Structure 1
Amino acid sequence: MIKFFKKLFLLPFRKVSKHAKKENLSPERNRKHVGKNLFFLAIAVFAIFIFRLVWLVTVNHIGDTNLKEYATYNYQSTIKVPAKRGTIFDRYGTPIAVDSSNYTIYVVLDKKQTDVNHHKLYADKSEFPKLTNFLNSQLGIDKKLIETQLNLKGAKQVQFGTKGSNISLKKMQDLQKAADDQGLVGVGFSATTARSYPMSNVGSGFASQFIGTTTSNNDTLVGADGLELAYNHVLSGKNGVETFQKDASGHPLPGTTKVIKQVENGSNVYTTIDSRIQELLESKMDQAAADSGAQQLSATIMTKDGQILATTQRPTYTPDTKNKATDQKYFTWNSLLFQSSFEPGSVMKTFLMSSALDSNKVNLNATYNRTKFKIADVTIYDADFNENEGQYQKPVMGVSFADGFMMSSNVGMSTIEQNMGYPLWKQYLQKYKFDMRTRTGLSGEIASALPAANVVSQVQSAFGQGIAVTQIQLLRGWTAFANEGVMLEPHGVSQIVNPNDQTERSVGREVIGKPVSDSAISKTLNLMEGVDTNATYGTAFTNLGDPQDNIAPNSPLIQINGQPAAVKTGTAQIAAAGGGYISGLESNLYSMVAMYPASNPDFIMYMNIKLPTKPWTLHYISRVINPVLTLAEARKSEIFQSTSVTKAGAVKIGAYKDKNPGDMADQLRQEILQPVLVGSTTNPGSKIVSQSIAANQKVDANTRILLLTNGDPVMPDMYDWTKKQVEQVAKWYQLKVTYSGSGNKVVDQDVAASANLKRGQSITVTLGH
C-alpha cells in the first residue's frame, strides 16, 4: 500500500520533468502543467480516501479487527447483573438459608505490587517461615503444602487448597486482624458467592438434610439436595443485563446506564418449620444419639393438617462440619424422612386396627390365645416370648384383641389380618396410599413396596414386616387419625413470596382421601391411649418411671403437661444385606408414634432409633418426644394462627401432555397446586395424556388439577371432590355416574379407591357437605 501511494505521488512529477525536457517548455508553461497535474492528483487521492471511508463504515473491519466492537469495547461496557437467590425462612420469617460470601486466602508474591509510596504489598522469602506458621496455626493447612505454594517458581499469587477456602466472613475478619497484628504483608482474601445457614451455627445441624445445600456453578448458586434442590427453580432468579458508557480512562459516565434485561431475583420460600421447636429437637436428638450409641436416629413432628414443624436425623452436619460429614460411619446425605424406605414394625398396627374396625372385621372384646401363630412354614411369636428365651411375660390365654393391640401382639394382629383376608387389607393399604409416593414437592422421594405375593409377607405386613414404607408416608397416614378419618398431604413449605411483583402464594389444607370412618379412628385412638396408660398391657406404661424426664413410677411414659398421649411403640427386625434379618437381641429398629391430645390430636410425632449399641430403653425416645410435644402445645396458638395474604399470586397452567406423572406432580406442588394422578402409574412408559384445566389458564394457589395417565383405569379417592371433577373422570373413562345425597362435595363412593375400573362402568357417588 505504501509503495503504491509513493508511485502515485511521484508519477506526475516524473511525467512533468520528462515532458519539460522533451518539449523544452518555459517555466511559466511548466508551472501551469504541474498545477494541472496536481489538481487531478488531489482529486484521485480524495476519491481514494472517500472510498476507504465508505468501505470502513460499511464493512467495519480492518484485517481481523471489528471496528464497531472495538469502539464499543473502548467506550461502552455490557455487564451481567446477577440475580439474588431467594431466602429460605422458617414459618415466622427467621432466615434459615441466605446468600452470603465465602473467602479464599491468598498470598501475593509479585514484587511489582507496591502502594503509591512504594511500600511493598507482597511477601518476600524472609517472611515465608512466619507465614507458614500463621497459616498452619490459624487454618490447619499442612506446612509442606504452604512451603510448596510459597516457593512456586514464577508465581505472582498463591492459594492453599480446601482449608484455605470457604472461609466465613467472621473468620476472614479475624484472620485479617491477626495478620495485621503480626505485621504480615501480602495476605489477602478473594470473595465468592456462597450460601449461609445461620440457624445451624447455634449448635447442631438445623434440619440439615431436609433444607439441603447448594453448590457453585460459574459463580451461580444451584441447589444440590434437600429443599435447595427441590425448589431450585423457585429460589433461582434470572440474571439481568446492563450497558453503560465510559470515558477514555474506562470510568463509567453518570447517567449512561441502560437496562437491557431486567434482573429477576429468586422467590423467597417460607417453610413450615418452627425454629424454636427445631432447635429443641436438635438438642434432644444429640442427647439421644449419645445415650443410645445408635447407628441412625430420625424424628419429625407435624401438625394435624400436615405442616412439618421440625425434622432431623443423626448423623447430621452443620456448615462448619459439612466437609467432614462423610467421616461419620453411618452418615447419609439423603433425608431419612422421604429418601429411605424401611420395614416400620409395630407402628403399622395402627393402620391394621383402624382398617379392621372400619370393615367390621374385629371384635375388640373377642379373645384369642397368643401362644403362637403358624402360617405356611413360619411360626410367629409375640415380642415378650422372643425377648425372654421362650417365656411369655404377660397373659397368654383368653387375651382380648383390644389388650393384644396395647401389648403389641404379633399373634393377635396376624389373626386379625387373616380374618380380613389380604385382598381387603391390601385395599386399605392402598386407601392409606402406601402404594404411592407423597409427591409433596421434595426431590428424590423413594418408592415404597407393598408385601410380596406370598402369604407370609402378607401376614407379616400386619405388624410392619414384609412391607417397605417411608416416614413421610407413615405421617401422611396418621393425619387421618387427627382429622376423624380424613387424610391430608404433608408439606414442608408454607408460602412462596415473589419479590419482583410482591405476590404471595400460601399453601392450604390439602385433602387427599378418607381411608376409614371417624368411628374407626376414635376407637383406635382410644386403644393407642391405652398403650400409654394401661398398667397391665400398655407397652409405653412405665413401672420404674424416669427421673431425668420427671416421669414418676407407675405412670404413662409419654406425658404432656401431665396428660397422656395416643401412642404406639414399634420394634422391627432389619433386613440383612444377604437376605433374612440381622440377628441379635437388640439388633432392631425401635420406634414410637405419639399424638397429642389423645382424643383429638393437634400434633403427630414419630421417632425411630436404628441399632442402638447401649442397652435398649424407650426412655431414649420419650426424652425427645415429651419436651418437644410439650413445647409444641405451648406454642399452639402461634402455630395455628391464620396467615393473611396481602397480594395473592396466581399460577399459570402449563401443557403437561406426555410429561412424567410423578415429576409433574412434584413440580405442581412446588407451584402450590394440588395435583391428582388419575390412572395407573406403574408402567415404565407412564405419561400424562390429559389434564382437567387447560394450558395457559391462570388459577389460584391450592387449586386441584386432575392429570390422566396412559395407565390402566384406576378408581381415584374422590373424597372432597366437586361434582365437576367427578364428571371429568367420568368423561375420561366413559363412566356412568349415579349421584345420591345433596351437597357440593363427595363424601362417599361405592367403588373403593385404587380399585381397577372398566370403561363404561357404573359407579355411585354420594354428595354431602
Structure 2
Amino acid sequence: MKAPRNKRLMGKRNPRRNRQRFGGFFLFILVGIFLLFVFRFSYIVVSGHANDENLTKKASALYQSSSVLRAKRGTIYDASGTPIAEDTTTYSIYAVLDKNYTGINDKKLYVTDKAKVAKVLSQYLPLDRATILRRLNPANSKTFQVEFGTAGSGLSLTIKQAIEKADLKGVYFTETPARLYPNGIFASHQIGLANAKTTTTANTTTSNLKGIMGLEKTLNSTLTGTNGVKKVEKDSYGYQLPNTKAKEKAAKNGKDVYLTLDSRLQTYLETLMSSVQTKYQPEQLNAVLMNPKTGQILAASQRPTFNPETGSGLGNFWRDTLVGDAYEPGSVMKAFTLAAAIDSGKYQPNSTYQSGQVTVGGTTVHDWNNTGWGTIPLSKAFPLSSNVGFVHIEETMGKDKWLSYLNKFQFMSKTKSLLSGEVSGSIQYEHTSDQAVTSFGQGINVTMMQMMQGFSAIANDGKEMQPQIVSKVTDPATGKTTKYKPKQVATPIKKSTAKQVLAAMEDVTYKDYGTGGAYKIPGYKIATKTGTAQISNANGGGYMTGDSNYIFSVVGMAPASNPKYVLYITMKQPQKMTDPATEILAQIFNPLMKRALDYDAGTTATESKATMPNVTGQSVSAATAALKKQNLTTVQIGTGNTVVQQMPLANEVILDDQRALILTNGAMTMPDVTGWSKSDVLKLAELTGKKITIKGTGYATKQSLAAKGLLNSAQSITVTLSKP
C-alpha cells in the first residue's frame, strides 16, 4: 500500500520534469498562434479582405481622389433654336462661425469681422444689415455655421463673384446644378421643371437634374446625360503623386430637344392670357394654336400658371390641363356631330323642326335662349348653335353611327403628344337621353388635345393629325438627329365633308344670326364655332347654375378656305364676368390669330413691340439707361447699386403700358405704386416674394407701406385700387 504513495511523492519532488512539460505545452501554444497569424496574414495579403471589408479599396481610397464630372442636361429649344430651358449653376452662401475652424499655421477660416460681412452681404442679398448681423450672432454660441435661407440661395455667378471680390473671411459658397428658364412664363406646364436631386455614395455626393413635370419629365431619359469620373493618385497630404497621370472617363451630355413652339406667338399668347386672367379672373383658361396640316403646336398655355425661373405661382397646381383635365366641351362639339351627319349621308339641311325644346328619353332639352327661333330648317341649327336641332340630327343619324364617328375622331383615346399626365376621357352613352346630349357636347368628357386632334381633320381635308410639340432630338456628341415627322392618325371624314363643315363654320362668323360675329378679323376669312358647356356639380347632382358657371369656348380656323391655323380657347367660370363671354375670348383670339396670319403673309414688319433687355448684373445707372432706350418706365426696388433680378425677364415682350421692375442688392424697399394696375402690383409681389393683398378694382390709390419703406420689416402689405 505504500509503494504507490512513494511514487506520487517522487513525481512531486521532480520539478524539472514538470517545467519541461509546461514549457513544451507553452511552446506548442506559441507555435499554434504563430501559424494562425501566418495563415491569417497570408489570407489578408492574398484576398485583400479583413472582417468582410475590402482593404484594397480602403487603401486605395486613402491615396486616390475621385471626382464626378457632371454631364450637362440637354437644352430645350423653340422652333427657331432659341433656348427655352438650359443648364446653369446657382450658388448658396453660408458663413462659418466656429473659431476652431482653422487651416495651416492656424490660419483663421471663420468669420472674423461680422460687421464687414453684414455690410457687404446687405449690398447683394435682399436682407438688410441688421438682419444679417442677427444671423451672424446666433443664440447658440456653439453654432458651427449659419445660412441665409432663400435670400442666400439661388445666387447667380455674377453675384457670387462680386461677393468674393470683397475677400470676406469665413464666407463660402456651395454649388448646385440648376435649370435656367430665360423666358419666364412660357408654356410653363407644358415645358415643365427639372430640379436638382442629390445622391450619396461611399465616397462622393452628386447633384443631378431630374425632370419632375412636363416635357422635362416625359423626356427625362433623353435629356439626361451620363456622368464621368476623374481619378487622381495622391499622397497623405492630398497632393497628386509625381509621375502619375489622372485617369478620366469623360461625361456624356444629354440630348437636345427642339420643339414646334414659335416664341413670337407663344410670348404674345402669354401676354394676352395674363391680361384676360387679371381682368376677369377665370378659374381656368386654356389656349392652343396649331398648324392643322402637320399637327404642330405653335403656341399653348394655361391659367393658372407659374414662373419656372422663380417658382412663383406653382403652388399645388401641377397639372397640365391641356391633357390632364377631361371636361364636357359643349357646343364646339357640334362641329363633329355635323361632320358625322354629313359624312354618313344622314344630314337633311332643308328639313324643318320646332326649336326651343324637345323631350328625348324622358329628358327635356332646351335651346340656349330657352324660347328658340320658331320652326326653322336644320341648316340654321349650326350657326344658331341650337341644341334641339342637334338632338334631331343625332336621332336621324342613329346612336350607333354617331358613336362610330366619335371613335373615328379618336375621342376616349390618348393623343400621345408627349405631354405629361394625359387622360383618355370618357362618355356616358347608356340611355337615349345620354346619346342625345352628346350631340351638343354634354355627357362626353374630352381633353384639349383630343379636340385639337379632331379639329385638324376638319381643317385638313379629313386627315386627322396627331398633336406634335417635339420636332427633333439632337445628340451634341455625334451630331445625330432624330426627327419627329407629322403623323396622320385617322381619316374620319371625306374631304368634301370637311369643306362643308368649314362653310358652315363661316356662317357662324358671318351670318347675322351666327354666334361668332365677335371673331371677325378684317382682311381674313375666319371659320368659327362657339361653345357654352354646363359644369357638373362636384357631388354629382346635376349641373351648376349661375351666369358664369360654364366653360365658354371658341374654335377658329383660318383662312377659312384652306386653314393654316386652328386656335381653340376655353375659359372656365370667370369670377368677374363684366363682359359677354364672346367678347372676353375675342381679346385673346383675334389679336393672336391676326398676328399668326400676318406672320404668314409677311405683313408684320411694321409692327413695333418692345422687348425687355437683360439688365441683371448691371449697375442701376446702366440698366436704367438701357431701359430708357426701349421707352420703358423703370421702377427700382432696393437700396443697392447693382441689379440682381428683373421683371419682366429678358426678351419678354413688353406692352406699352407695362413697367419694368428692377430689384437691386441691398435692402428691399417699397416703391410708390400710385396709378399701378393690378397686374403691375402682382409682378411686384412675384419679384419680391412678399404677400401683397389687393383690394378693390381699377388702379392703385393707397398702400399700407409707404414708399421707400423696408419690405423686409413689413408683415403684410395692402394695396387699394380704385376706378378713375
Displacement after TM superposition at 1:491 (Å)? 1.3
Q: Counterpart amino acid of 1:319?
A: P
Write out aligned runs for 1:53-92 (5 A): 57-60=45-48, 68-92=56-80
Counterpart selection for 2:341 from 349, 356, 360: 356
Once the two structures are superposed, the pairs formed by residues 329-408 of structure 1 within 5 Å of their partners are: 332-385=317-370, 391-392=371-372, 396-408=373-385
3-state DSSP of counterpart to 2:275: helix
Equivalent position SS for 1:590: strand
In 2, distance between residues paired with 1:145 and 1:362?
80
Q: What is the percentage of aligned positions where both structures have the same residue?
A: 36
Contact 1:106–1:160 (Cα < 8 Å) also in 2: yes
* Residue 529 (str. 1) matches residue 511 (str. 2): no
Q: 1:254 to 1:151 in 2, by over 3 A?
A: farther
Change in Cα spacing, 1:163 to 1:466, as seen in structure 2 (3 Å) is: farther
The residue number in structure 2 matching 1:474 is 451
**Distance in 2 between residues matched to 1:429 and 1:64, nearest whole Å:** 66
Q: 3-state SS of the aligned residue for 2:436?
A: helix
What corresponds to 2:269 in structure 1?
Answer: 281
Moved more, 82-91 or 72-81: 72-81
Determine whether 1:98 maps to 2:83.
no
Q: Which residue of 2 aligns with 1:621?
A: 585
Of 408, 411, 432, which residue of structure 2 is paired with 1:431? 408
Distance 2:284 2:328 in 1: 15
C-alpha distance in structure 1 between counterparts of 2:571 and 2:333, whole Å:
16
Residues 48 and 212 of structure 1, relative CA distance in 2, 3 Å threshold = closer
1:455-498 residue CA offsets vs partner (Å, 9 max, x unmatched)? 22211111111110000000000110122101111111000111
Deviations 1:621-677 (A, max 9, x none): 112122222222233489xxxxxxxxxxxxxxxxxxxxxxxxxxxxxxxxxxxxxxx
The aligned runs of 1:726-745 (5 Å cut-off) are none
C-alpha displacement at 1:105, in angstroms? 2.2
What pairs with 1:16-35 in structure 2 (closer than 5 Å)?
Answer: none
Q: Which amino acid is 1:309 matched to? A: L
Secondary structure at the aligned position of 1:150 is classed as coil
Separation (CA, whole Å) in 2 of partners of 1:142 and 1:523: 73
Paired with 1:158 and 1:60, the residues of 2 have a C-alpha distance of 43
Post-superposition offset of 1:254: 7.6
- Other-structure match for 1:539: 515
CA distance in 1, matches of 2:380, 2:231: 77
1:212 maps to: 192
Count of residues in Structure 1 that have an aligned counterpart in Structure 2: 555
Deviation at 1:110, TM superposition (A): 2.5
Higher mean displacement: 420-429 or 612-621: 612-621
1:602 aligns to 2:578 (yes or no): no
Amino acid at match of 1:577: A
In 1, Cα distance between equivalents of 2:526 and 2:92: 52
What is the aligned partner in structure 2 of residue 578 from structure 1? Answer: 539
CA distance in 2 between counterparts of 1:410 and 1:163 reads 57
Distance of aligned partners of 1:48 and 1:448 in 2 relative to their CA distance in 1, 3 Å threshold? closer
Letter in 1 for 2:591: P
Residue type matched to 2:548 in 1? E
| Matching residue's letter, 2:186 | F
Structure-1 separation of matches of 2:538 and 2:451 = 24
Structure 2 residue matching 1:198: 3-state secondary structure: coil
Q: Which amino acid aligns with 2:578?
A: P
Shift of 1:70: 4.6
Alignment match, 2:221: 233
How far did 1:517 drift?
0.8
Deviation at 1:135, TM superposition (A): 9.6
Calculate the aligned-residue CA RMSD, in Å.
Answer: 3.3
Any idea what SS the aligned residue of 2:257 has?
A: strand
Corresponding residue number in structure 1 for 2:683: none
Distance in 2 separating the partners of 1:141 and 1:349: 64
Q: Secondary structure at the match of 2:532?
A: strand
Going from structure 1 to structure 2, the CA distance change for 1:55 and 1:573 (only over 3 Å counts) comes to closer
- The whole-number CA distance in structure 2 between the counterparts of 1:64 and 1:516 is 71
Q: Distance in 1 between matches of 2:161 and 2:388?
A: 65
CA gap of 1:531–1:140, structure 2 versus 1, over 3 A, is farther
C-alpha contact 1:533 1:564 (8 A) present in aligned 2: no
Matched, 1:590 2:552: yes
Question: For residues 69-95 of structure 1, what are the alpha-carbon distances to aligned partners after superposition, in whole Å with 9 as ceiling and x for unaligned?
Answer: 354234433333222211111112111
Q: Distance in 1 between matches of 2:246 and 2:596?
A: 53
- Shifted more, 339-348 versus 244-253: the winner is 244-253
How far does residue 289 in structure 1 lie from its aligned partner after superposition?
A: 0.9
CA distance in 2, matches of 1:212, 1:239: 23
SS at the partner of 1:58? helix
Structure 1 stretches lacking a partner, 5+ long: 1-46, 386-390, 543-556, 639-769
Q: Point out where structure 2 has 5 or more consecutive residues left out of the alignment.
A: 1-34, 199-206, 603-724
Contact 2:136–2:146 (CA<8 Å) still a contact in 1?
no
Do 1:558 and 1:625's aligned partners in 2 also have CA atoms closer than 8 Å? no
Contact kept in structure 2, 1:149 and 1:160, CA below 8 Å: no
Aligned to 2:491: 514
Written as runs of structure 1 = structure 2, the 5 A alignment for 1:748-767 is none
Distance 1:97 1:163 in 2: 23
Say whether residues 1:630 and 2:615 are aligned partners. no
Query: Normalising to structure 1: TM-score of the pair?
Result: 0.66
SS at match of 2:178: strand
TM-score (norm 2): 0.70
1:238–1:266 contact (8 Å) kept in structure 2: yes
SS of residue matched to 1:594: strand
- CA shift digits 1:90-142 (9 cap, x unpaired): 11211111111122221221325579998865336964995799499715999
Partner of 2:634: none
Q: Deviations over 1:531-571 (max 9, x none)?
A: 11112x211114xxxxxxxxxxxxxx331x52131101110
Residues 347 and 66 of structure 1: CA distance in aligned 2, closer, same or farther (over 3 Å): closer
Instruction: Tell me how far 1:66 sits from its aligned partner.
Output: 5.7
Query: Kindly tell me: are residues 101 and 72 of structure 1, through their superposed partners in 2, closer, same or farther at Cα, counting changes over 3 Å?
Result: same
* Greater length-normalized contact order (CA 8 Å, ≥ 6 residues apart): 2
Q: Which amino acid aligns with 1:619?
A: E
Answering whether residue 520 of structure 2 is matched by residue 558 of structure 1, we say yes
- 1:224 deviates by 0.5
User: 1:149, CA displacement in angstroms?
Assistant: 7.7
CA distance in 2, matches of 1:121, 1:236: 37
Structure-2 change in CA distance of 1:333 and 1:207 (3 Å) = same
Alpha-carbon offset, residue 380 of structure 1: 1.3
Secondary structure at the counterpart of residue 592 of structure 1: strand
CA distance in structure 1 between the aligned counterparts of 2:538 and 2:270, rounded to whole angstroms: 31
Q: Give the letter for the 1:565 counterpart.
A: I
Instruction: Map residues 162-173 of structure 1 onto 2, 5 A cutoff.
Output: 162-169=150-157, 172=160
Over 3 Å counting, the alpha-carbon distance change for 1:602 and 1:74 in structure 2 is same
What residue number does 2:181 align with? 197
SS of match in other structure, 2:455: helix
Please report how far the alpha carbon of residue 315 of structure 1 lies from its aligned counterpart in structure 2 after TM superposition. Answer: 1.3
User: In the alignment, which residue of structure 2 is the partner of 1:723?
Assistant: none
Q: State the distance in 2 between where 1:150 and 1:128 align.
A: 17
Asked if 1:412 is matched to 2:389, the reply is: yes
Determine if contact 2:193/2:308 at 8 Å carries over to the other structure: no
Q: Provide closer, same or farther for how the CA distance between residues 196 and 149 of structure 1 changes in structure 2, counting only shifts above 3 A.
A: farther
Distance 1:138 1:262, change over 3 A: closer
Structure 2 distance, partners of 1:145, 1:464, is 63
